[in-house]
Amino acid sequence: MADALDSLAPALRRVVERACLSEEGLEEMERGEAWPARSAKVALKMALSQLARAM
């Protein structure tokens, strides 16, 4: 799992860590990153897709 996380770009790794490991809500993540609404969902989908390919 650590190798798969290391394969992600830093921003995508941060999304996975915050959403999956820290159990932070997507809206909370968007506010913290000053992202537009629903953008964390798109970023999480991209990150999980890349993570699945790396495993």
Domains present along the chain, CATH in parentheses: 2-54 (1.10.10)
pTM of the model: 0.85
Residue 4 confidence (pLDDT): 86
Q: What is the full per-residue pLDDT of the chain (55 aa) written as tens digits? A: 788 889 999 999 999 999 998 999 999 999 999 999 999 999 999 999 999 998 8
Residue 2 confidence (pLDDT): 84
Q: Which residues have CB under 8 Å from 19's CB, separation 6+?
A: 26, 29, 40, 44
The tokens describing 44, both together, are 């999480």
- The span from the CA of 39 to the CA of 30, in Å, is 7
